[in-house]
Amino acid sequence: MSSKAITVQSGSVSQPYQMAGSTVTLTANSAPISGQPFGKWVVVSGSGSFASASASSTTFTVGSADATVAATFAPTAPGSLGYTSNGTVSVGLNWGGSSDDGGVVAYDVYRVSSGTSVLIGSVTGTSFTDSHLRAGATYGYYACARDSVGNATPSNSVIVNVSANADQNGNGIADAIDSLMGVSGDPVNDSAVNLKVHRPLQ
């Protein structure tokens, strides 16, 4: 049985040739751009498996064919995340751009509510607007810079308190009053708006 060749991109290997089923140690180089955290190891070609793909130094079990593996690095963290809100149910988010040796392909924006993070959009720029929030609610936000192999680095997070007097449907009346009056629907965008009429008790 012949030994297999292990070629490493952006890193080094303890033994460049080894028998299938044997293990070698991989060590990533320093980040190509200052501030880039280590991302993960990937198999470019051939076969084999990593003990921990997310560790900058790990062992690799050689497969049945020659293998080329690569150390990848995540983008630098996005610049300070900020927001603008005029007390309505729309929040504008903005942040500084990230750097990545392979290029940043998108920024994924997350909203946090009741301890759960939900992806609400992906953009190539450095701003995002989240609309139709719930009046009186509190939300958290953060953005993640993502590269072409799926490495992602989060920004700082911000907390946004939506005014209890916010007017989500744009009818000029605070949502809290709409709820008391039984108004539902958006008079600007909906074809119908419902209004419950409460008769006084006889």
Cα separation, 92 vs 98, in Å, equals 19
**What digits encode the pLDDT tens for the residues 91-122?**
999 999 999 999 999 999 999 999 999 999 99
pTM: 0.79
Q: What is the pLDDT of residue 167?
A: 56
Query: What count of other Cβ atoms lies within 10 Å of the Cβ of residue 127?
Result: 14
Question: Phi first, then psi: what are they for 162, rounded to 5°?
Answer: -85, 130
What is the Cα gyration radius of the chain?
26
Query: What count of other Cβ atoms lies within 10 Å of the Cβ of residue 38?
Result: 18
How is the chain split into domains, by residue range?
4-73, 82-166, 169-202
Look up the CATH number of domain 82-166.
2.60.40.10
Query: What count of other Cβ atoms lies within 10 Å of the Cβ of residue 174?
Result: 17
> What Cα–Cα distance (Å) separates residue 73 from each residue in 24, 52, 53, 92, 163?
21, 15, 12, 29, 40
